[in-house]
Amino acid sequence: MTRIGIIGGGHGAALHAQAALLCDRIELVGVGGGSSSATELASAAEVPDLSLDAILDRSDAVVVAVPPARTPEVIDALVGEVGAVLVEAPVPADLPDPGCPAMIGANLLHAPTVRRAMRAIGDLESPHHLVLRSSQPAPTWGGHGSLAFGGAGLDPGARLAPVLFAATGEAINSAAARITEGPVTGVEESATITLTLPSGRAARLESKWAPGSARAELEVASDEGVALVSFFPEPELEIDGVPMTAPQGHPLVDLGFVAQLERLAGLPDRSATPWLDLATGRAICGVLSAAIVTARGGFG
């Protein structure tokens, strides 16, 4: 059994706590780490609400699901204390090295339907259309949507971007962003980030806060066919307009949270390798951040 602790107490921490309880090889030792919102989560998961020192002392691996501004101090504290770490996106481009095997939160890359979609996309020859669209209601808690948190381009953009990057099958030459400020000053309502690829192709990430249900989909097309994968409420795949049915299980299994934690559980004893590794995830966030910061120069 791998002992895992969750640092944080918000929505992301709750999803990881629920997923950990579904994993046979994981013992959830506690949640919290100084989060003021962890008491209710600890009670729901029937685990202790622990201090950061207590979580690090009892855990083989940890999930860091705190606001980005606090992530560096948490990473500094866990160096030499745990055998592996999963850090929820978005992460600062200059995040310290945790000194152990590390992953960035990219649960959709572990989702069975998304993995099938990636195989289908890999079979398309020279896709000319790669677009990921996301529309989600703005959270009412924390600093989401604000410039300090990163705006719509980084949240939810950074949590979905690894899927688009994986679908390109190429490195990224450059990125440019176009952002739209909402009715509230200092809150970015939407962002469109265009990635230029070495082949000359382009991929596009469109992310916005909007009322209604969360929606996100990846569409990839070539002259031979079209693959469309939608992510919420559970991933679904269409190939040339034909649904590719798949058996549905627990939502946290279908969304990849369980498989992601199972991989994390294998990192301390080196029975698994990090995926998506933190260095790659940090680079993705850096590409998005640079494009967004440049685009913000046009505001005002």
pLDDT, residue 300, reads: 43
Average pLDDT over residues 234-250: 91
Which residue intervals of the chain bear CATH 3.30.360.10?
A: 109-252+285-296
Residue 258's pLDDT band, with cuts at 50, 70 and 90, is very high
Here the tokens at position 44 are 């729901």
- State pLDDT tens for residues 201-236: 999 999 988 888 889 999 999 999 999 999 999 999
Contacts of 119 (CB under 8 A, 6+ apart): none
Which residue intervals of the chain bear CATH 3.40.50.720?
A: 2-105+257-276
CATH of domain 109-252+285-296: 3.30.360.10
Handedness of CA 35, 40, 42, 44 (dihedral sign): negative
CA–CA gap between residue 53 and residue 34 (Å, rounded) = 9
pLDDT, residue 144, reads: 54
pTM exceeds cut of 0.85: yes
Architecture of domain 2-105+257-276: 3-Layer(aba) Sandwich (3.40)
